[in-house]
């Protein structure tokens, strides 16, 4: 009998989830495991998920198990192994009669959502559940959810893999190589325009980025701005935020957590800082991670940071501290 894994996806009627959900059950993300899906949406749009369930059924995915859709997050959370928290309130929409423009408002509104979800995950999710927050502001949403869950055996992460993928794409063009040839693309800090893509510690054919990239003007004036502003560029071009690439990044994060990391490699996600690399403790911060052969997610602790990198990372961690301060009432 095949093993089973239960996966909860919020924001399941959105564009990201439309790209994400079918690939959870295609036999790649979770291998041979049977995947039971709990698709969650707000009451106003939850009925739209009926059509998505029909499509999933009609696709005949061999690894798809039970599929349910609901607006009851607590019910969905029971005994779940994975939570992909895609749903969040975006900037610019009208919420409770007010247009959400300021980051402080965005943090407070989403914070309230993640308090409730965190409490449910802590109470009803499996003790070793893994939680990946995709909905922005992802790092601080994850911090709020983790605090509300009050369950240290569960792993809360915010997604930085999309930033990592964007950085690899830009570097591959600069180095005239395939994207798949570049490894150890670490994203430090916040999933925001302040994040730092660590070009110096990438590896290409056994050579570190610091020995491949010497043009610091290109780094400062092209590489960093392009990667940090890529999300905005996508919105400006297509009139909507990244969907296909965000879904792929979430899947890549799950795969990285589900499979042992190759020796000498790492992957990027944001987890609770324990002070490693002199990062402030108590923030959800992007850093290098690895999955052990036993399936445990650990911080990789042997990365060497230049003074340039430390300066850039501090800008991002300062922002995370500001965000934490803005929601401190939700962290009591």
Q: Could you report the per-residue pLDDT of 103-117, keeping only the tens digit for each?
A: 778 888 888 899 999
> How big is the chain, counted in residues?
332
Structure tokens at 107: 């943090």
Range of the domain at 51: 4-158
Alpha carbon distance 304, 301 (integer Å): 9
State whether 23 and 106 are in the same domain: yes
Is residue 319 within 8 A of residue 279, CB to CB? The reply is no
Q: Which of 158, 193, 220 is the last residue of a domain?
A: 158
Q: Is residue 191 annotated as part of the catalytic site, yes or no?
A: yes
Kindly state whether residues 85 and 96 are assigned to the same domain. Answer: yes
Q: In this predicted structure, what is the pLDDT of residue 290?
A: 98
Q: What is the mean pLDDT of residues 32-58?
A: 97
What b/e string do you get for 30-54 counting C-beta neighbours within 10 Å, with b at 16 or more?
Answer: beebbbbbbbbbeeeebeebeebbe
Mean residue pLDDT across the chain? 95
Give me the torsion for CA of 315, 321, 327, 329, rounded to 10°.
-160
Residue 102 has pLDDT above 90, yes or no: no
Cα–Cα dist 99/94, whole Å: 4
Are residues 215 and 132 part of one domain?
no
Per-residue pLDDT tens over the stretch 75-90: 999 999 999 999 988 7
Least confident of 33-42, 198-207, 233-242, 289-298: 233-242
Residues 306 and 203 in one domain: yes
Q: Give the gyration radius of the chain's Cα atoms.
A: 19
pTM: 0.96
Count up the domains in the chain and report the number.
2
Among the three residues 120, 139, 158, which one is the final residue of a domain in this structure?
158
Together in a domain, 144 and 167: no
What local confidence, expressed as pLDDT, does residue 296 receive? 97
Query: Which of these three, 158, 186, 217, is where a domain ends?
Result: 158
- Quickly state the pLDDT bin for 101 (edges 50, 70, 90): low
Judge if 154 and 242 occupy the same domain. no
The answer to whether residues 143 and 165 belong to one domain is: no
Query: Which H/E stretch holds residue 73?
Result: helix 73-77
* pLDDT at residue 278, as a whole number: 97
Residue 46: the pLDDT is 97
pLDDT tens, position by position, 128-156: 999 999 999 999 999 999 999 999 999 99
Tell me: do 71 and 145 sit in the same domain. yes
Q: Residues of the chain with pLDDT > 70: what percent? A: 99
Q: What CATH number does residue 184 fall under? A: 3.90.110.10
Does 262 lie in the same domain as 154? Answer: no
Claim to verify: residue 168 and residue 316 sit in the same structural domain = yes
The CATH number linked to 36 is: 3.40.50.720
Q: How far apart are CA 115 and CA 74, in angstroms?
A: 12
Residues 147 and 180 occupy one common structural domain: no
Burial of 58 (0-12, 13-18, 19+ CB in 10 A): exposed
Q: What is the mean pLDDT of residues 201-222?
A: 97
Are 154 and 176 in the same domain? no
């Amino acid at each position: 009998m095949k093993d089973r894994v239960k996966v909860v996806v919020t924001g399941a009627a959105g564009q990201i989830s439309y790209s994400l959900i079918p690939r959870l059950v295609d036999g790649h993300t979770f291998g041979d495991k049977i995947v039971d899906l709990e698709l969650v949406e707000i009451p106003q749009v939850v009925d739209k998920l009926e059509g998505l369930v029909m499509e999933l059924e009609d696709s005949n995915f061999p690894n798809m198990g039970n599929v349910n859709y609901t607006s009851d997050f607590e019910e969905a959370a029971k005994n779940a192994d994975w939570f992909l928290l895609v749903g969040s309130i975006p900037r610019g929409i009208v919420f409770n009669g007010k247009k959400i423009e300021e980051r402080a408002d965005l943090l407070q509104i989403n914070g309230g959502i993640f308090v409730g979800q965190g409490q449910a995950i802590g109470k009803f999710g499996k003790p070793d559940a893994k939680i990946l927050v995709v909905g922005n502001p992802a790092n601080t949403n994850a911090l709020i959810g983790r605090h509300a869950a009050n369950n240290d055996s569960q792993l809360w992460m915010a997604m930085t893999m999309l930033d990592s993928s964007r950085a690899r794409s830009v570097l591959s063009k600069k180095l005239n190589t395939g994207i798949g040839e570049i490894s150890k693309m670490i994203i430090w800090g916040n999933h925001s325009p302040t994040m730092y893509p660590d070009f110096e510690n990438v590896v290409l054919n056994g050579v570190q980025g610091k020995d491949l990239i010497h043009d610091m003007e290109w780094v400062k004036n092209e590489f960093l701005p392009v990667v940090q502003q890529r999300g905005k560029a996508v919105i400006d071009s297509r009139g909507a935020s990244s969907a296909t690439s965000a879904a792929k990044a979430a899947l890549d994060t799950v795969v990285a957590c589900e499979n042992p990391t190759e020796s000498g490699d790492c992957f990027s996600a944001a987890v609770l800082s324990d002070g490693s690399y002199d990062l402030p403790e108590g923030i959800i911060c992007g850093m290098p991670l690895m999955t052990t052969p036993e399936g445990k997610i650990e911080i990789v602790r042997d990365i060497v940071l230049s003074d340039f990198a430390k300066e850039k990372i501090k800008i991002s961690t300062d922002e995370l501290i500001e965000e934490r301060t803005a929601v401190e009432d939700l962290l009591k």
